[in-house]
Structure 1
Amino acid sequence: MNLNQLELLRVLQETNFNLSKAAEKMFVVQSAVSRQLQLLEGELGAPVFERQGKKLVGLTPLGERIMEEVTLINVSKRNIQTIAEDFLHNRNGELHIATTHTQAKYFLPEPIRKFREKYPNIKIYIVQSSPTNLIDLLHHHQADIAICTEKLDESDDKLIINPCYEWHHVAVMPKDHPLSEGEITLERLARFPILTYSKGYTGRSNIEKAVADGHVGLDITLEAADSDIIKTYVRIGLGVGIIAATAIEPQADEDLIARDLGHLIPPSVTRFAYLKQLYLPTFCRFFIDELLRAAGRTS
């Protein structure tokens, strides 16, 4: 058994057990992949993959258990390389941030500006996706850190999850809207079409909780993942928007009224997460410190 064979197992799982794709990723011919797999299974004394003819269709129970160890080995390889680079004060590298549009536009600019001042040669990649997919990006080593409000499950024992900042929702509307004056209640909101976030985005679960607790149904006629899209359709008269207070820009949104909904909708908490077993390089720890500083917290 050698490291190349173990790497082959990882690549096969990544490529959905496709031998030709695995061979391409490992820069060898398919016959070499098949031969290495045959040698490994011969040494182990049992098959690692389930087969239909010559096609690999899944892992055997033994294969499932072996892949757990292969994952640990892969993490260790990454850590060794990162530790060595950190020890040598390597200021050339990459920071991959997985987040949503709202965080990327309204929260991250200042931490990223500070990061760029400190580490001008580190390349920054921002991957915008759904909260559910952000966690998958961490687990598949396609992101170093994920930042979002929804879907960070505290029960995920493979992640370190920390609170970053607390925020609340606001109702946005044109200045001449009936809700621009007087007390806002769920009953009053229910009289108008509501434009808000798609399920799973930016505190939508807290909006649903407030509606359920208040026993008042809201007429949600438009859902979007992007705060700017919601504001656009508020401007053309499609309804009242419910968005994150952090998404209000005083100058750009001076034509709109933003009314606090903190008394109706529970506050939301944006969190950041990273893999527990991965060694964080110095520049990544610096970025986390800047996140907390921007949020008014200390690390």
Structure 2
Amino acid sequence: MNLNQLELLRTLHETGFNLSRAADKMHVVQSAVSRQLQLFEAELGSPLFARQGKKLIGLTPLGERIMAEVDLINQAKKNIQLIADDFLDSSSGTLHIATTHTQAKYLLPGPIARFRLRYPGIKIYMVQSSPDNLIDLLHQHKADIAICTERLAEDDKLVVKPCYHWHHVAVVPKGHPLAEGDITLQRLSAEPILTYTPGFTGRSAIEKAFVDAHLPLDINLAAADSDVIKTYVRLGMGVGIIAGTSYEPVKDADLVARSLMDLIPSSTTKIAYLRQLYLPSYCQYFIDELLAEAATKSD
């Protein structure tokens, strides 16, 4: 076997076992891909892929085991290049950050501004996506760091660091009945609720609070973006439940924010990266800046 055959195995997996797409990605003809795969399987003495006719439909048990080793080899290749680049010149490179809208707007500006002053030659690419997709971006090496609240702790291939703890608030226009008096889940349950899309910014904690209290939760509108939720609260569509960090007292002076600290479990925003990934010095610096910024935001 050779490294090209191992790269072929990884590429086939990434392209959904599509021979044509794998050939395009490797800049060879499809017949060459088929031939290399045949040679590889012949050398191992067993098929690596399950087939339906000539079509590859998945990995065999042996293929799954070998793919795990190929992933380690691929990670080692990337680490070797990262180590060399960091040793020769830590002032240039690229930092890929995968995060959600809430973190991009309310957590990252300060750390990114300080990072830019320290490393002006490092390019920064930010991808905003769902928490589920953030994990995939790390595994696909399309992101160096992921930052979000949901899901990250569920993957044992990641190093996950707590960043900061926060609570939700209810936001209503001035003059709304919930702007005054005790705020309770019972009162919230009687209102149409505007909050986050499932999987975003502590939505699971919101649902759990109402389920545990045996109260209905009437979600009238769901969005991934706190600003969208606040926009429709202003239109009178209902009560917004958003992250406390998303309420800006000056900008949102027309809205009243009521703390839900005692009603909805706290949430924790986390930083994650691949356990086997070598972190260049500039990446380590950025994580330190994130943690320093987060220390000023925790409830």
- TM-score relative to the length of structure 2: 0.96
Distance 1:50 1:234, change over 3 A: same
**DSSP 3-state at the match of 1:295:** helix
Moved more, 285-294 or 115-124: 115-124
Q: What is the CA–CA distance in structure 2 between the aligned matches of 1:62 and 1:6, rounded to whole Å? A: 14
Paired residue type of 1:171: A
Any idea what the Cα deviations from partners look like across 1:154-206, whole Å, max 9, x if unmatched?
4x221101100011111101111111111111111122211111111111111
Q: What is the CA–CA distance in structure 1 between the aligned matches of 2:53 and 2:203, rounded to whole Å? A: 47
Structure 2 counterpart of 1:186: 185
**DSSP 3-state at the match of 1:217:** coil
After superposition, residues 128-207 of structure 1 pair within 5 angstroms as 128-154=128-154, 156-207=155-206
Distance 1:60 1:234, change over 3 A: same
Structure 1 counterpart of 2:18: 18
The runs of at least 4 aligned residues of structure 1 exceeding 4 Å deviation read none
Q: What is the CA–CA distance in structure 1 between the aligned matches of 2:53 and 2:264, rounded to whole Å? A: 57
Structure 2 counterpart of 1:60: 60
Paired residue type of 2:258: R
Q: What is the CA–CA distance in structure 1 between the aligned matches of 2:14 and 2:217, rounded to whole Å? A: 43
The CA RMSD measured in Å over matched residues stands at 1.2
Structure 2 counterpart of 1:255: 254
Any idea what the Cα deviations from partners look like across 1:241-296, whole Å, max 9, x if unmatched?
01001001122211111111111111111011110011111111001000000011
Q: What is the CA–CA distance in structure 2 between the aligned matches of 1:41 and 1:152, rounded to whole Å? A: 36
**DSSP 3-state at the match of 1:201:** coil
Alpha-carbon offset, residue 226 of structure 1: 0.8
Q: What is the CA–CA distance in structure 1 between the aligned matches of 2:165 and 2:222, rounded to whole Å? A: 23
Alpha-carbon offset, residue 79 of structure 1: 0.5
Paired residue type of 2:142: Q
2:46 is equivalent to residue 84 of structure 1: no
Paired residue type of 2:29: V
How many pairs are equivalent?
A: 296
**DSSP 3-state at the match of 1:153:** helix
Q: Percent identity?
A: 71
- TM-score relative to the length of structure 1: 0.96
2:221 is equivalent to residue 219 of structure 1: no
Unaligned 5+ segments in structure 1 are none
Q: What is the CA–CA distance in structure 2 between the aligned matches of 1:221 and 1:210, rounded to whole Å? A: 18
Q: What is the CA–CA distance in structure 1 between the aligned matches of 2:207 and 2:55, rounded to whole Å? A: 46
Q: What is the CA–CA distance in structure 2 between the aligned matches of 1:282 and 1:39, rounded to whole Å? A: 41
Alpha-carbon offset, residue 145 of structure 1: 0.8
2:258 is equivalent to residue 246 of structure 1: no
Alpha-carbon offset, residue 141 of structure 1: 1.3
